[in-house]
Amino acid sequence: MNEHRATLTTCAYCPNTCRPSYADNDAVQTESQTPSALSLITLAVLDGRLPLDIDTRTALGRRDAANASVGHCTYGLNIPATLDAALAERIET
Protein backbone atom coordinates (compact mmCIF):
# COMPACT_ATOMS: atom_id res chain seq x y z
CA MET A 1 0.00 0.00 0.00
CA ASN A 2 2.90 2.39 0.64
CA GLU A 3 3.78 2.43 -3.06
CA HIS A 4 0.20 3.33 -3.97
CA ARG A 5 0.07 5.99 -1.27
CA ALA A 6 3.31 7.55 -2.53
CA THR A 7 2.02 7.61 -6.11
CA LEU A 8 -1.33 9.08 -5.04
CA THR A 9 0.37 11.73 -2.90
CA THR A 10 2.66 12.78 -5.75
CA CYS A 11 -0.34 13.15 -8.05
CA ALA A 12 -2.55 14.80 -5.43
CA TYR A 13 -0.09 17.66 -4.97
CA CYS A 14 0.90 18.02 -8.62
CA PRO A 15 -0.33 21.15 -10.44
CA ASN A 16 -1.88 18.96 -13.17
CA THR A 17 0.89 19.26 -15.73
CA CYS A 18 -0.98 16.53 -17.64
CA ARG A 19 -3.90 18.92 -18.25
CA PRO A 20 -3.01 19.47 -21.95
CA SER A 21 -3.77 15.77 -22.54
CA TYR A 22 -7.43 16.19 -21.48
CA ALA A 23 -10.18 16.74 -24.01
CA ASP A 24 -11.37 20.32 -24.33
CA ASN A 25 -14.94 19.61 -23.25
CA ASP A 26 -16.20 21.09 -19.99
CA ALA A 27 -16.91 17.79 -18.24
CA VAL A 28 -13.30 16.63 -18.35
CA GLN A 29 -11.98 20.02 -17.32
CA THR A 30 -14.01 19.98 -14.09
CA GLU A 31 -11.53 20.25 -11.23
CA SER A 32 -13.08 17.41 -9.22
CA GLN A 33 -12.36 15.02 -12.10
CA THR A 34 -8.66 15.72 -12.51
CA PRO A 35 -6.17 12.98 -11.64
CA SER A 36 -5.00 15.02 -8.65
CA ALA A 37 -8.56 15.34 -7.32
CA LEU A 38 -9.19 11.62 -7.73
CA SER A 39 -5.91 10.95 -5.93
CA LEU A 40 -6.96 13.20 -3.02
CA ILE A 41 -10.33 11.46 -2.81
CA THR A 42 -8.65 8.06 -2.79
CA LEU A 43 -6.21 9.13 -0.07
CA ALA A 44 -9.18 10.30 2.02
CA VAL A 45 -10.82 6.89 1.57
CA LEU A 46 -7.61 5.07 2.49
CA ASP A 47 -7.25 7.23 5.61
CA GLY A 48 -10.86 6.59 6.64
CA ARG A 49 -11.82 10.24 6.29
CA LEU A 50 -14.27 9.53 3.47
CA PRO A 51 -16.56 6.51 3.15
CA LEU A 52 -16.37 4.40 0.04
CA ASP A 53 -20.10 4.85 -0.53
CA ILE A 54 -22.03 5.23 -3.78
CA ASP A 55 -21.25 8.96 -4.07
CA THR A 56 -17.53 8.39 -3.61
CA ARG A 57 -17.54 5.48 -6.04
CA THR A 58 -19.37 7.65 -8.58
CA ALA A 59 -16.80 10.43 -8.19
CA LEU A 60 -13.93 7.96 -8.53
CA GLY A 61 -15.56 6.55 -11.67
CA ARG A 62 -15.21 9.84 -13.54
CA ARG A 63 -11.90 8.99 -15.12
CA ASP A 64 -11.83 10.58 -18.55
CA ALA A 65 -9.11 13.04 -17.51
CA ALA A 66 -7.20 10.41 -15.55
CA ASN A 67 -7.33 8.00 -18.48
CA ALA A 68 -6.12 10.74 -20.82
CA SER A 69 -3.22 11.51 -18.49
CA VAL A 70 -1.64 8.07 -18.93
CA GLY A 71 1.54 8.55 -20.92
CA HIS A 72 1.44 12.32 -20.37
CA CYS A 73 2.26 12.48 -16.67
CA THR A 74 5.42 14.42 -15.82
CA TYR A 75 6.25 11.71 -13.27
CA GLY A 76 5.30 8.76 -15.46
CA LEU A 77 2.42 7.76 -13.18
CA ASN A 78 -0.53 5.64 -14.25
CA ILE A 79 -3.23 7.03 -12.00
CA PRO A 80 -6.16 4.87 -13.20
CA ALA A 81 -4.15 1.70 -12.45
CA THR A 82 -3.02 3.08 -9.09
CA LEU A 83 -6.58 4.04 -8.11
CA ASP A 84 -7.81 0.54 -8.93
CA ALA A 85 -4.98 -1.19 -7.07
CA ALA A 86 -5.17 1.02 -3.97
CA LEU A 87 -8.94 0.71 -3.68
CA ALA A 88 -8.82 -3.06 -4.27
CA GLU A 89 -6.29 -3.43 -1.44
CA ARG A 90 -8.41 -1.22 0.82
CA ILE A 91 -11.48 -3.35 0.16
CA GLU A 92 -9.54 -6.56 0.85
CA THR A 93 -8.34 -5.38 4.26
Residues of the chain where predicted confidence (pLDDT) is lower than 50: none
Q: 45: Cβ–Cβ under 8 A, 6 or more apart, which residues?
A: 51, 52, 56, 87, 90
Tell me, what's the pLDDT at 28? 61
pLDDT at position 26: 60
Say what the pLDDT of residue 72 is.
Answer: 93
Report whether 36 contacts 11 (CB < 8 A). yes
pTM of the model: 0.90
pLDDT for res 63: 93
Q: Could you say which DSSP state residue 74 is in?
A: T
Sequential DSSP letters for 19-50: GGGS-SSHHHH-GGGSHHHHHHHHHHHHTTSS
Given its phi and psi angles, is residue 61 left (phi above 0), alpha (psi -120 to 50 degrees) or beta?
Answer: alpha
The per-residue pLDDT for 42 is 97
